């Protein structure tokens, strides 16, 4: 037992609707369709991953599907997530297209990728997808505590998962607590800080003490509190390295040292720059400009 609702040696989390999600998955954002995605998924399965996270917007569902069919691992052993692109209209029709590309009868989790157009409009379509057996669980992504509450109040089923940017530097304690309160599993994207803070000195100090790599420490920090992670890598050795996180534990002191790196002041908001809104785009642009001026 390594956290609330967390089970098993390699780690899994029971979701509110009864499905079980492995705590470690491979993310394939920005991995090109074709050989690179197929290799990454194959290497992940060989390294023991039983969970893959893709999306309609990533354009690589077909390669994920091919890699899943090729190996020795049975379909029912792997937890497969895809995400509804909210720029499109119909979650059911788009999931049918995803399933065709993936070569599957159903996904384990289908997520609204971001709350473009408001938190509720896509939800009835997501519920229909579940009722029709096309998705075992349904969830959301990049939803703030407030947006989560609105969709829970409006829907028949609550989201099983809220997938958000979450790591020691973007701790979002308020959002984590709101998810726990509502029985929604917070799932982390950006668990490796998208590579940006891997060289941080405070992180390096914890890693050195633990005798692990900074990437392993970041992933362990999340799974130790029951948060599923979906690190992305195109490299075989890193895919294997990122899987070695269930044979050590961080001490309470190490966990709090990492908690102290938070730059979000414990926010319950999911994103600093919601890219689908004008203000979010402007803030993102300003941030990039400041970073480039700082060199």
Tell me, by CB under 6 A, how many residues bind ligand NDP: 27
- Shortest gap between Cβ of 184 and ligand NDP (angstroms)? 15
- Separation CA 44–CA 25 (nearest Å): 8
Give 27 or 226: the residue with its C-beta nearer to ligand NDP.
27
Q: Which residues contact 215 (CB under 8 A, 6 or more apart)?
A: 192, 198, 231, 238, 241, 242
Shortest spacing between CB 104 and ligand NDP, in angstroms:
17
CA distances from 15 to 85, 98, 173, 274 (A): 23, 23, 20, 27
Which position among 37, 162, 191, 267 is part of the footprint of ligand NDP (CB under 6 A)?
191
Give the contact letters, 110-139, x = binds to ligand NDP (CB under 6 A), - = no. Answer: ---xx-------------------------
Residue 58 among the catalytic residues: yes
Instruction: State which residue has the least CB distance to ligand NDP.
Output: 27
Q: Considering only residues 2-61, where is the footprint of ligand NDP by CB under 6 A?
A: 27-29, 53
Distance CA 271, CA 33 (A): 27
117: number of CA atoms within 13 Å, CB side?
11
Q: 244 and 216 in contact (C-beta within 8 Å)?
A: yes
Q: Which residues pair with 137 in a beta bridge?
A: 109
Contact between 195 and ligand NDP by CB under 6 A: the answer reads yes
**How far is Cα 150 from Cα 37, in angstroms, rounded to an integer?**
36
Bridge partner residues of 275 (DSSP): none
Residue 166 vs 293, nearer CB to ligand NDP: 166
List 84, 143, 170, 189, residue binding ligand NDP (CB under 6 A):
189
Q: Which of the residues are catalytic?
A: 58
Q: What is the contact surface with ligand NDP in residues (CB under 6 A)?
A: 27-29, 53, 113-114, 141-142, 163, 189-195, 198, 215, 230-235, 238, 241-242
């Amino acid at each position: 037992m390594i956290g609330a609702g967390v089970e098993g040696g390699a780690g899994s989390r029971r979701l509110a609707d009864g499905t079980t999600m492995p705590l470690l998955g491979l993310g394939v954002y920005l991995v090109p369709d074709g050989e690179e995605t197929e290799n990454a998924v194959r290497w992940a399965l060989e390294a023991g991953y039983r969970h893959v996270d893709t999306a309609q917007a990533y354009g690589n569902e077909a390669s994920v599907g091919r890699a899943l069919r090729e190996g020795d691992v049975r379909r029912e052993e792997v937890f497969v997530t895809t995400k509804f692109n909210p720029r499109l209209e119909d979650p059911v029709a788009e999931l049918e297209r995803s399933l065709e590309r993936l070569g599957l009868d159903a996904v384990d989790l289908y997520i609204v990728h971001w709350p473009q157009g408001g938190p509720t409009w896509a939800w009835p379509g997501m519920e229909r997808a579940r009722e029709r057996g096309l998705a075992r669980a349904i969830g959301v992504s990049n939803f703030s505590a407030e947006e989560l509450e609105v969709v829970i109040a409006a829907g028949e089923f609550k989201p099983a998962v809220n997938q958000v940017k979450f790591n020691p530097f973007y701790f979002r304690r308020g959002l984590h607590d709101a998810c726990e309160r509502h029985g929604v599993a917070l799932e982390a994207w950006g668990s490796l800080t998208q590579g940006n803070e891997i060289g941080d000195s405070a992180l390096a100090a914890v890693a050195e003490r633990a005798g692990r790599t900074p990437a392993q420490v970041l992933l362990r920090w999340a799974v130790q509190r029951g948060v599923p992670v979906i690190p992305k890598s195109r490299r075989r050795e890193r895919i294997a390295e990122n899987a070695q996180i269930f044979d050590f534990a961080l001490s309470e002191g190490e966990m709090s040292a990492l908690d102290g790196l938070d730059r979000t002041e414990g926010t319950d908001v999911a994103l600093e720059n919601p890219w689908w809104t004008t203000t979010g785009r402007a803030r993102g642009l300003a941030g990039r400009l400041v970073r480039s001026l700082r060199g």
